[in-house]
Amino acid sequence: MILTGNEDLRVVKTIGSIKKAFEELICKKDYEKITVKELCDIAKINKKTFYHYYETLDALLSELKTEMSRDFTERIKGYKLPGELDKVNREFFLYSAEQGLAYEKITCSMAYTSIRDDMIASVTDAGWSQSKQFVKLGDYEKKLLIGFVNNAVLTAYKQWVDDEKRLPVEEVIEMTNKLVISGVCGFFNR
């Protein structure tokens, strides 16, 4: 249940407790192994309360994906691609650095590939669909370009997380942008 700000304080606390418990479980195990019962135990609610707000765990997961994608998309909405791809990449790293461990697991773990891919598709569509250069490309070229950008940036992020974020985020952004921007510029200038 995405809150509007007009809810009773008890509802806000209950939804917050459900989401906090869910993120805690995501950090501990793969999504397929999470049960409503254990989520309710951690959130200190009964199953009936959970089902009052969410039909299924999938509905809760869908809401989490929507919130994360929406929040990031909001940060990049004014940028023009491909010309400001460096700024979009910067925002990705800064946004990602602000998120918790559940976000890291969703973004980096193979167990969450389909969830991550849904989020990437949502953000990609919002970012690239407005690009005049991009819409002129054929389907294969679009898929190749998006695949390259997303895989390069995601690989850089995963490596940074795997290295326990020892490098300052600004260095990671700079290296990633050098790689990605030169590839994208080369692609459009061919």
For the segment 48-60, what is each residue's pLDDT rounded down to a tens digit? 999 999 999 999 9
Neighbours of 23 (CB within 10 A): 18
Does the domain at residues 9-54 carry the CATH identifier 1.10.10?
A: yes
Burial class (CB in 10 A: 0-12, 13-18, 19+), 147: exposed
For residue 82, is pLDDT > 60? yes
3-state secondary structure of 116: helix
For the segment 89-101, what is each residue's pLDDT rounded down to a tens digit? 999 999 999 999 9
For the segment 165-190, the average pLDDT, to the nearest whole number, is 95
For the segment 108-137, the average pLDDT, to the nearest whole number, is 90
Give the pTM. Answer: 0.88
For the segment 144-151, the average pLDDT, to the nearest whole number, is 96
DSSP label of 137: S
Q: What's the distance, Cα to Cα, between the start and end of the chain in Å?
A: 47
Distance between CA atoms of 148 and 127, rounded to whole angstroms?
15
Q: What would you measure as the largest C-alpha separation in the chain, in angstroms?
A: 60
Q: How confident is the model at residue 106 (pLDDT cuts 50, 70, 90)?
A: very high
- Contact present, 89 and 153 (Cβ < 8 Å): yes
